[in-house]
Structure 1
Amino acid sequence: MLILDEMQSRGHEALTLLHHAPSGLRAALAIHSTVLGPAIAGVRLREQDEALAVRGALALSESLTLKAALAGLNYGGGACVLMMPEAGVEDPHAREALFRALGRQVQPLASRVVLTEDIGVTPADIAFVAQETPSTLGMNTDTSSITGYGVYRGMKAAARYALGSESMRGVRVAVLGVGAVGRTLAAHLHREGARLTIADERPERAVALADELDGAVVTGPQEILDTPCDILAPCGYGHSIRSQEVSRLQCRLIAGGEHHPLSRQGEDAVKEAGIVYMPDYAINAAGLIAAATGVDATQAAERVYQTVARIISTAEQYAKAPHVVARRMAERRIDLIGSLGRA
């Protein structure tokens, strides 16, 4: 990947590599846009190499820009992807050192970036970051469970367009990835009577959840793409559905908590296949809304529901694909608000 070409094609402002040998900090910090305000950067921690960390930070930060814009927040988009230290972070002092090192490295960028939790990171980790920089959000917010509930509410709004009803009773939903967000989503769907198929790259996690949710069927992460279902809900780490795999899908709607489950080529492929795609930045914003504004889970999820409803209403009015409408709505707000500073 030619990094500068990638940044130019996506419209990124900056990419910074962070390093602190004693704590094991190695991270890619991407700032996509600060047009609407400082970039909210979700912090992720997982085992991956440098190329994946950079690619993930660039993709995630663009998604955060669109998410904040659609949600009506005065923030831009960023992402901070941490590579797992060789020594791990099981030692609590090592974990503290890692996240305080991150906070200290980001402090000079405090006017441009705000860090919040994402996959593999907890509110306690962000509290460590906050000891070194004031530019944090979400320390006191259970963003994962709020995000999961918001995805559930947004899915119902999208189902009204794709399936003709927002009721989940008897609806076949395949959930790919049952981490914190996927588990919460599955629990809400099960409570309403959905017929669940679940998969995770850690099979024991899917089996454990199926034991809790009576009737849920477990399959493999690849096999779930071939599962006949009404809704496919990707809730993994990103790019769960490759463009060449779209022909395998047997769903009518894709709606889940995962950031960028599809590439732009994949989006074109699902549109061609007649599958409705509600993009991640429209449907998984509840946790971000709660962290940024202080509203509770119900209020944050209702904002997601209203956003998705507005997208599908416009899609119906202009006979456009919902994911195309969602991106144009986000970009329009960025252009309009951004123009105020150029008047």
Structure 2
Amino acid sequence: MLILEEMQARGHESLTLLHHAPSGLKAALAVHSTVLGPAIAGVRLREQDEELAVRGALALSESLTLKAALAGLNYGGGACVLMMPEAGVDDPHAREALFRALGRQVRPLATRAVLTEDIGVTPADIAFVAQETPATLGMNTDTSAITGYGVYRGMKAAARFALGAESMRGVRVVIMGVGAVGRALAAHLHREGARLTVADDRPERAQALADQLSGVDVVSCGSALDVPGDILAPCGFGHSIHSADVSRLQCRLIAGGEHHPLTRRGEEAVKEAGIVYMPDFAINSAGLIAAATGADMNAAAEQVYQIVSRITHVAEQYSKPPSVVARRMAERRIELIGSLGRA
């Protein structure tokens, strides 16, 4: 599918390519919706080519629209995906230059997009952005830790629906991706007595977590989908579960911190397989809530718990998949509040 066709199909408003040669800035800024307010754009930094960066920004920004709407925030959804500069960003001055260049490039868009941290980006990086534009959030918030705790609380609410109880003691959970969010989730689950299996595309990171937490099994990313478990928690970069691999799954619930782990086709395959899927935009919003409202970790995670509980209640009442219910709830708020027009 061509990029403009994909934008039209998803309902995107704009896609901006950013470039600043001296700092090595190459980025794609996608704005999916500003119906509820300026688009909160998660900023990601990783090694990838141009096409992956653009398509990643489009997918992530749509997810952010639904997430903000479902969380009751007066923001739309956006995403800014940075390609890693050829020289890297190990030099602190180079990192400062990269993020200040980003801030200066997006400054004219301040009424449409607000930048906050995502994978590979720290609050300190957003502070650099904030030196060039006022349109930032979260530079004083540990969003990864808060998101991880929110996923844990949301997982408990989803487990009550899918497994019949919200206790994690003895529950087998497979975590795919143990970056900052995955590690935080693992720590909370381990503390409650869950039986954990972890995988990461950097095997040494998974092993380091297993060395830190007793009784944790480590498997390769390629075999993680084959591990028997009650819950599969994708916490990677996106699209961890391909439609063709759904038949390999041996879980009853998919609930994790990763944005768009499944395509729409994958969601259909999961539904046909009888697996409950709690979508990313419903369960991984605690960090966004904290950054946008100033809520502390407990308050933000409790809001996620209540959101997931409301979704599962409606899903049970009307015999609908939670993923369908969650999307409709988000779209309904956008329709209703959007109909009021601009203040």
Q: Deviations over 1:265-294 (max 9, x none)?
A: 000000000000000000000000000000
1:116 aligns with 2:116: yes
TM-score, normalising length from structure 1?
A: 0.99
Q: What is aligned with 2:166?
A: 166
Tell me the distance in 1 between the aligned counterparts of 2:323 and 2:220. Answer: 27
Q: What is aligned with 1:93?
A: 93
Q: Deviations over 1:139-174 (max 9, x none)?
A: 000000000000000000000000000000000000
Q: What is aligned with 2:143?
A: 143
CA apart distance, 1:230: 0.1
SS for the counterpart of 1:69 is: helix
Tell me the distance in 1 between the aligned counterparts of 2:71 and 2:155. Answer: 16
Q: Deviations over 1:190-223 (max 9, x none)?
A: 0000000000000000000000110000001110
Q: Which amino acid aligns with 1:138?
A: G
Tell me the distance in 2 between the aligned counterparts of 1:138 and 1:121. Answer: 11
Tell me the distance in 2 between the aligned counterparts of 1:264 and 1:69. Answer: 19
Q: Which amino acid aligns with 2:65?
A: T
SS for the counterpart of 2:221 is: coil
CA apart distance, 1:51: 0.4
Q: Which amino acid aligns with 1:20?
A: H
1:267 aligns with 2:261: no
Q: Which amino acid aligns with 1:328?
A: R
Q: What is aligned with 1:175?
A: 175
Q: What is aligned with 2:298?
A: 298
1:191 aligns with 2:154: no
Q: Which amino acid aligns with 2:25?
A: L
SS for the counterpart of 2:36 is: coil
Q: Deviations over 1:28-66 (max 9, x none)?
A: 000000000000000000000000000100000000000
Q: What is aligned with 1:206?
A: 206
Q: Which amino acid aligns with 1:175?
A: I
CA apart distance, 1:307: 0.1
CA apart distance, 1:342: 8.1
SS for the counterpart of 2:261 is: coil
Q: What is aligned with 2:40?
A: 40
Q: What is aligned with 1:52?
A: 52
1:197-236 matches, cutoff 5 A: 197-236=197-236
Q: Which amino acid aligns with 1:219?
A: V
Tell me the distance in 2 between the aligned counterparts of 1:316 and 1:217. Answer: 34
Q: Which amino acid aligns with 1:188?
A: H
Tell me the distance in 1 between the aligned counterparts of 2:262 and 2:168. Answer: 24
Q: Which amino acid aligns with 1:308?
A: V
Tell me the distance in 1 between the aligned counterparts of 2:165 and 2:317. Answer: 18
Q: Deviations over 1:217-254 (max 9, x none)?
A: 00011101000000000000000000000000000000
1:289 aligns with 2:289: yes
Q: What is aligned with 1:330?
A: 330
Q: What is aligned with 1:79?
A: 79
Q: Deviations over 1:290-323 (max 9, x none)?
A: 0000010000000000000000000000000000
Q: Which amino acid aligns with 1:233?
A: A
Q: What is aligned with 1:8?
A: 8
Q: Which amino acid aligns with 1:154?
A: G
SS for the counterpart of 1:121 is: coil
Tell me the distance in 2 between the aligned counterparts of 1:104 and 1:220. Answer: 41
Q: What is aligned with 1:63?
A: 63
TM-score, normalising length from structure 2?
A: 0.99
1:236-251 matches, cutoff 5 A: 236-251=236-251
Q: Deviations over 1:121-156 (max 9, x none)?
A: 000000000000000000000000000000000000
Tell me the distance in 2 between the aligned counterparts of 1:15 and 1:272. Answer: 34
SS for the counterpart of 1:313 is: helix
Q: Deviations over 1:99-127 (max 9, x none)?
A: 00000000000000000000000000000
Tell me the distance in 2 between the aligned counterparts of 1:125 and 1:340. Answer: 36
Q: Which runs of 5+ in 2 are unaligned?
A: none
SS for the counterpart of 1:251 is: coil
Identical amino acids, percent of aligned pairs: 84
Q: Which amino acid aligns with 1:278?
A: M
SS for the counterpart of 2:201 is: coil
Q: Which amino acid aligns with 1:283?
A: I
1:20 aligns with 2:43: no
Alignment RMSD: 0.8
Tell me the distance in 2 between the aligned counterparts of 1:77 and 1:222. Answer: 32
Tell me the distance in 1 between the aligned counterparts of 2:222 and 2:280. Answer: 20
Q: Which runs of 5+ in 1 are unaligned?
A: none
SS for the counterpart of 2:225 is: helix
Moved over 3 A (4+): none
Tell me the distance in 2 between the aligned counterparts of 1:342 and 1:298. Answer: 32
CA apart distance, 1:90: 0.3
